[in-house]
Amino acid sequence: MTAALDREVLLQLQFAPLFAGVAEKDVRALLDGAELLRLGHEAYLYREGEPVERFYVVLDGHVELSVDSDGRRSVVEVARRPAVLGEAAMFGAGRYLMTARVLTGATLLAIPAAAFRARLEERIDILFHMLTTMSLRLRLLVRQIAELKLKTTAQRLGSFLLTMVEENVGGRIELRFPYDKRLVADQLGMKPESLSRALGKLAKVGVESRPDNLVMIADVDRLRAFCAEDEGG
């Protein structure tokens, strides 16, 4: 990486869960040998069950994470900046737990796993810090999954749309689905037709589906309140 690019990546890594709170000089040492990748649509980073050679930080774009169950592919998550991919497998069994496939292009930082682990063995303080961060993130994800099961399909879709809105933004806003609606449906645990019905239900709270994957939200705060309601189902 060039010095300028290296600095840009370091700034982004401040928001990546694995590196949050780690001193810049230590991050620089850990990233020695890392490579910046720009990959196109449907490029595979790794496949489920393969040995972990590198793990990745998403700097731009989207990456689909999926698992194969009885021959059927199921989308677990669509990762975006500043997600870290493959780190759990690197610390665990040494084989990727999921398949990672780029959607519509992505920029990633690829970090050699063996060298990274070797450097961490010399810095147990950083290792424990990272494992603590991963544990907290896992608890948050488990809580989010539990909360998701209690939401209606319309609330799930509304919550997904809100992930694309800054926390301090309110009022009227226009969004575009970042990738195919069928993939969004899979990610949210519903069928494409259920997603269409959910969009219809969201119309009652001012969410309008428009051509070219555009969505107009008349009042962001109203949508937030709807998604926070304890409706269940």
Q: Can you list the domains of the chain with their CATH numbers?
A: 3-148 (2.60.120.10), 150-228 (1.10.10.10)
The residue-averaged pLDDT of 44-68 equals 93
Q: Is the pLDDT of residue 117 over 50?
A: yes
The residue-averaged pLDDT of 16-28 equals 87
Q: Is the pLDDT of residue 213 over 50?
A: yes
Peptide bond into 178 cis (omega under 30): no
The residue-averaged pLDDT of 82-101 equals 89
Dihedral of CA 190/195/197/198: which sign?
A: positive
Tell me the per-residue pLDDT of 172-203, one tens digit each, with 9 for 90 and over: 999 988 778 888 887 787 888 999 999 999 99
Global pTM exceeds 0.85? no
Q: Is the pLDDT of residue 232 over 60?
A: no
Query: If we measure between CA atoms, which residue out of 164, 159, 217, 162 comes closest to residue 188?
Result: 159
Q: Is the pLDDT of residue 3 over 60?
A: no
Q: Is the pLDDT of residue 147 over 50?
A: yes
Average pLDDT over the chain, rounded to an integer: 86
Residue recorded with tokens 């972990």: 52
pLDDT of residue 182: 82
Lowest-pLDDT choice from 48-52, 101-105, 145-149, 175-179: 145-149
Q: Is the pLDDT of residue 122 over 80?
A: yes
> Rounded to whole angstroms, how far apart are CA atoms 131 and 133?
5
Burial environment of residue 16 by CB neighbours within 10 A (0 to 12, 13 to 18, 19 or more): buried
* CB contact at 8 A, 17 and 137: yes
The residue-averaged pLDDT of 132-159 equals 78
The two beta strands, 207-210 and 214-217, are antiparallel
